[in-house]
Amino acid sequence: MLELRDITAGYERRRPVVSGVSLTVAPGESVGLLGPSGCGKSTLARVAALLHRPDAGTVTVDGVAAPGWRHRAPRALRTSFGVVFQQPRLSADPRLRLADLIAEPLRATGRRAQASAAVAELAPAVGLTADLLTRRPHEVSDGQLQRACLARALVLEPRWLICDEMTAMLDASTTAALVAVVEAYRARTGAGLLAVGHDRTLLERWCDRTVRWSDLAGTERVTAPGEGPAAA
């Protein structure tokens, strides 16, 4: 069970982007979180993945309340999350070859020995061929790089997957392919999923249930910075 309770979070002290939001994902469940651009849903996803410390509220993972965020979170808790972000270019180290990119979490957790076997298993699963694995990010397309980023998120076999607009930059075919990879992984491991996005058709097709941002508690006070009346 992944429980977010009364989360208030933001980047400036007096201007929370998320205030008083609660959300629960049951084990093995897939939840789609729908919201317009700039509503704060990505911030909530980062809080859930223990990547952003909220100003208030608690995150409970499988019955254990997170004692801290980022490097203050225990490694076992941190590595129970796999995260895929919207922009693969910004979330990939440009110096790493794709094979090293995928294996990086294993190296970081001292499991270097498993790297080559894990990459050999994951790369075909996400649709990456051997010649792509030797390239660096600037030598592959967005879709290919996002495939590598998804493999990286899966390499530690996380119990929870957080996909923040994973497919917003991608074409329809790559979108369907990546969603199929996530679902195959979940079918095998029973991992839970929080998928954040603005494409209702996609999330309703993908997830067991979808939650609208506007239906979450306390969000009526939330407005994106600079959101004009004409764009509301």
Partner 1 sequence: MTAPRTTAPPAPVLSVRELSVRFRMRGGHHVRAVSGASFDLAPGSCLALVGESGCGKSVLASALLGLLPGNAETSGAAHLTAADGAPAVELLTADEPLLARTVRGRRIGLVPQSPAAHLTPVRTIRAQLEETVRELGGGPAAPAAGAARGTSAARRPGRRAAREALRAAAERAADRAAFPLDHLDRYPHQLSGGLAQRAASALALVGDARLLLADEPTTGLDRDLVARTVDALRAHADDGRALLMITHDLAAAERIADHVAVMYAGRIVEHADAATFFGTPGPRHPYARGLLDALPGRAFAPIPGLPPELGALPDGCAFAARCPRADARCAVRPEPSDGVACHHPHPGPPPADAPEKSEEKGDRRARTA
Binding region for partner 1 (CB under 8 A) out of 51-59, 93-101, 148-156, 202-210:
202-210
Instruction: Give, as ranges, the residues between 39 and 68 that touch partner 1 (CB under 8 A).
Output: none
Considering Cα of 64, then 31, then 182, then 137, what sign does the dihedral take? Answer: negative
Among 89, 176, 186, 218, binds partner 1 (CB under 8 A): 176
Among 28, 57, 127, 218, binds partner 1 (CB under 8 A): 127
Binding region for partner 1 (CB under 8 A) out of 33-41, 63-71, 94-102, 114-122:
33-41
Of the two residues 68 and 225, which places its CB atom closer to partner 1 in the complex? 225
Residue 144 has a CB neighbour count (10 Å cut-off) of 20
If binding is defined by CB under 8 A, does position 144 make contact with partner 1? yes
Binding region for partner 1 (CB under 8 A) out of 71-79, 95-103, 104-112, 192-200:
192-200
Structural contact between residues 6 and 56, judged by C-beta atoms closer than 8 angstroms: yes
* List of residues 6+ apart from 104 with CB closer than 8 A: 93, 96, 152
CA distance 41 to 34: 8
Instruction: Give, as ranges, the residues between 85 and 114 that touch partner 1 (CB under 8 A).
Output: 86
What is the chain's Cα-based Rg? 17
| Beta strand extents in the chain (DSSP E only) | 2-12, 15-25, 30-34, 56-61, 64-65, 81-84, 160-164, 192-197, 209-212
**Helix H or strand E segment including 146:** helix 142-154
CA distances from 130 to 90, 92, 95, 119 (A): 23, 19, 18, 10
The token pair that represents 171 in the structure block: 């074409």
Binding region for partner 1 (CB under 8 A) out of 4-12, 96-104, 148-156, 164-172:
164-172
Among 89, 186, 198, 212, binds partner 1 (CB under 8 A): 198
Of the two residues 119 and 181, which places its CB atom closer to partner 1 in the complex? 181
Q: How far is the CB of 42 from partner 1 (least distance, A)?
A: 12
Residues found near partner 1 in the complex (CB under 8 A): 35-38, 86, 127, 129, 132, 141-144, 168-177, 179-180, 198-202, 204-206, 224-231
